[in-house]
Amino acid sequence: MEQTRIILDTDIGTYYDDICAVLFAAQSPELKVEGVTTCYGDTHLRAQIAQKALEVAGRTDIPVFKGIGQPMRGHALMFGFEGDGILEPGEQPKYEDQHAVDFIIETIMNNPGEIRVVTLGTVSNVAHAILREPKVVENIKELIIMAGVVIPIVDAKGVRRSPREEYNFNNDAIAAEIVLKSGMPISYVPCDVTLDTPLLDGDYQRIRDTDTPIANLVQRVLDIWPPQEKLIYVSVGIPTEFTALWLHDPLVVMHAFDQTLLGMWPLHIGVEYPPTVIERDMVIANDILRTVPKKLPPNMDVALDVDGPRVSSFFTDRIVAPQGNGLASRQTAAGATS
Ligand SMILES: [Ca+2]
């Protein structure tokens, strides 16, 4: 089996779904994860969290690199649970010395046409890689982005679930603009689509019923989320209750090697900064990056629909599988024949 080679770029620690994506990737023999790179805010802490997740998964063969924490404009607003339930007090997992941007450039340029980069947070590291070595644009196989909004959706309670000020892009909007306009081959998976991938109750129960280090770690992280979600919403003036455990980030990792889950359409996505009503903060902002479909020649492939139930079961199958999910035996078998 030929493996899909990816770099996983993540703001692991803010929400629950990045660590779920890292563990899903670690448990997927279809993938050769060249490295995990961290973005946004305290990228040192995030690298430690990623390293710990890979240790739990028995995948210390995957190197972890600290990336860019500060957006090109403004400041990183840290929120979320940032490692609670993952790192023990005082625990300091050791990751690589090389910088994430150097690693991304080196890996792409040494393997032209081979490497997919999957971004699960800000696209700061990719933007810096483009600025430092513009040839990554023509040498990357594909950039798969989980970010932004194409068609905002409002739930039955009138709460806008996919806000125009979506955070992965707007936590470093200049980086997002550089990447979206770069000409890289892009698969764009906006959060209005990933919001169709709740972890279903039966699958959540399968994780609870599984007593392995990986399943236990996922359960600890998922258990922390509902009160966090409530605090995040109430802090911006929207009373809400727990909604769902969406599998935003695991979904885009799946798409790297299984293109049957998402309906992808060639579209032109423009980048604009029109005055934007931010209902959550009750202000109008002039610096919010919006991604808007245009009736122009396509510039990327855009996800417009998803098989949500299959995402939930696929994710769960990998999380409840034994550590390594047969990966070592498959690698040995591949090595024996080469
Ligand atoms: Ca993320």
* Dist. CA 37 → ligand 1 center (Å): 12
Residues linked to residue 160 through DSSP beta bridges, in sequence order: 154
Mean pLDDT of 72-94: 84
* CA 249 to centroid of ligand 1, rounded, Å: 6
Active site residue 248: yes
Ligand 1 centroid to residue 336 C-alpha, Å: 37
Q: Tell me the torsion sign for CA atoms 101, 24, 151, 170.
A: negative
The active-site residue out of 44, 75, 248, 268 is 248
**DSSP sequence for 123-180:** -HHHHHHHHH-TTHHHH-SEEEEE---SS--B-TTS-BSS-TT-HHHHTTHHHHHHHH
CA 100 to chain centre: 16
Q: Give the mean pLDDT of 167-187.
A: 96
- Asked whether residue 51 carries a pLDDT value surpassing 70, the answer given is yes
The alpha carbon of 120 and the centre of ligand 1 are apart by a number of angstroms equal to: 4
Look up residue 57 and give its two tokens.
Answer: 């998964």
pTM equals 0.93
Mean pLDDT for the stretch of residues 51-77:
95
Q: Could you tell me if 26 and 53 are in contact, meaning their C-beta atoms sit under 8 angstroms apart? A: yes
- For residue 78, pLDDT beyond 80: no
Average per-residue pLDDT for the chain: 91
Ligand 1 center–CA 15 separation, angstroms: 7
Report the pLDDT value the prediction gives residue 337, as an integer from 0 to 100: 40
Q: What is the pLDDT of residues 267-300, one digit of tens each?
A: 999 999 988 887 767 788 888 899 999 999 999 9
List the domains of the chain with CATH numbers. 4-337 (3.90.245.10)
Bridge-based pairing of strands 116-119 and 4-10 is parallel
**Bridge partners, 285 (sequence order):** 276
- Give the distance from CA 253 to its chain's centroid: 8
Residue list, CB under 5 A from ion ligand 1: 11, 18, 120-121, 249
What's the whole-number mean pLDDT along residues 111-115?
98
Render pLDDT for 182-235 as a digit per residue (tens, 0 to 9): 999 999 999 999 999 999 999 999 999 999 999 999 999 999 888 888 887 777
Secondary element (H or E) of residue 234: helix 213-235
